[in-house]
Amino acid sequence: MSLYQSVRAVANARGGETEWIDWRATAEAAKQARDQGMLTLDDAERRAYATDVRDARSRLRTVGGLEFDIPQTIEVQNRHHWIDANIKTFERMLDPIDIATLIDDTNALNGPSGYATRMVNTGSMAAALAFLSGNVLGQYDPQLLSQTTDTIETNENNHELYFVHPNIVDVAAELDVEYPRFRRWIAFHEVAHAAEFGAAPWLRTHIEDRIESGLEALTGGRLDRSAFSDVDIVMTAVEGYAELLMDRAFDEEYADLRAKLDARRGGGGPVAQLFRRLLGLGVKERQYERGAQFFETIADQRGVKAAATVWEDPRYLPDESELDNPQYWIDRVNP
């Protein structure tokens, strides 16, 4: 890890006339700023990850009453592997934004000012990825906005599942919990996301449509608040349902894991707290809490399988008022 090399990579950021981030420099800078972590897995450890995922699939199918399958691509990664995977994701999602049009300056990325803009954007993205790579435990990637006409229904390779092994090991030690049990609990959470997208083939397209609408508005110099509000509602449902399902389906005691992980989400030193604010992680924590409370209320009243009704049709997604008053949703949908 070398902060000097990280800064140097940002300072050397280059790009074409329409590129507002140098993604190669972003990847290099993020990796230089974050130790990759140990990834020495023997056969028994690899089998343990595979067993956790298979068991999670079986339990989530039974408890949630959902039909889905897990991705064919399941990777146990170090932090640098995670950075590489997410560079592709961010590039795919951000490239549609024409920064020159957005700020009404066709020469914005040319000359000294363009170089400065690109360097700042590259440095900001590298810092974000470096921070996140040291905190992410697992990730389900539905490959939003990927350049393909296939859906999860017809292309099993069109979604991926990652586990950042060094972070799982470190956080288990930090929280003073048994590593195998913690690893298994994280597997249940990420497979729960696969369950949502697998059970709702429309979900990926629905999110993509709203993201694209918001990005098109930005490129045209407008802010489509409704599009981003819709994305926030859907992601609140996605995160909240995963929280419900991982807890209800987990086949071991989890109360201590839940309490300690929730405390960690809101903890950290001043630098970590600053990054959380800048990256909007407080919003994500609010999504966890708000969504989990919504689905817990439904599950307590109508059962866990009734909560899965939300994935049957886009019309059954909650609106803003229903997220804060689950009874409104129950009365409307009658699961």
- On whether the CB atoms of residues 256 and 208 are closer than 8 A, the answer is no
| pLDDT band at residue 125 under the 50/70/90 scheme | confident
Q: What is the mean pLDDT of residues 247-254?
A: 90
Report the range out of 88-92, 113-117, 134-138 with the highest average pLDDT.
134-138
pLDDT at 126 exceeding the cut of 60: yes
Q: How confident is the model at residue 1 (pLDDT cuts 50, 70, 90)?
A: low
Question: What pLDDT is stored for residue 236 in this prediction?
Answer: 92
Using the CB atoms, write b or e for 160-183: b if 16+ within 10 Å: bbbbbbbbbbbbbeebebeeebbb
Task: Assess contact for 308 and 66: CB atoms under 8 A.
Answer: yes
pLDDT digits (tens, 9 = 90+) for 38-95: 998 999 999 999 999 999 999 999 999 998 988 888 999 999 999 999 998 888 777 6
How high is the mean pLDDT of the chain? 82
Q: Which two tokens stand for residue 322?
A: 């229903």
Return the residue matching tokens 């949502």.
196
Nearest to 263 by CA among 332, 174, 202, 329: 174
The Cα–Cα gap between 25 and 8 comes to 9
Phi and psi (nearest 5°) for 298? -65, -45
- Phi/psi for 139 (5° steps) reads -155, 130
Average pLDDT over residues 141-166: 69
Q: What is the mean pLDDT of residues 167-177?
A: 95
Map out the domains of the chain as residue ranges: 1-180, 200-334
Q: What pLDDT is stored for residue 238 in this prediction?
A: 93
**How many Å apart are CA 289 and CA 148, to the nearest integer?**
34
Residue 97 has pLDDT above 70, yes or no: no
At residue 65, φ and ψ (nearest 5 deg) are 70, 35
pLDDT of residue 11: 54
* Range 1-180 classified under CATH 3.40.190.10: no
- The alpha carbon torsion through 130, 51, 238, 206 (nearest 10 deg) reads 90
Q: What percent of the chain has pLDDT over 70?
A: 78
How much is the pLDDT for 280?
52
pLDDT at 88: 87
Q: What pLDDT score was predicted for residue 222? A: 80
**Residue 106 above 60 pLDDT?**
no
Residue 269 has pLDDT above 50, yes or no: yes
| pLDDT over 90 at 161, yes or no | yes
* Residue type for position 141: D
Of the candidates 157, 23, 167, the one whose C-alpha atom is nearest the C-alpha of residue 86 is: 23
- 235-263 average pLDDT score: 90
pLDDT of residue 216: 78
pLDDT at 120: 81
Count of C-beta atoms within a 10 Å radius of residue 136: 17
Cβ-count burial of 79 within 10 angstroms (0-12 exposed, 13-18 middle, 19+ buried)? buried
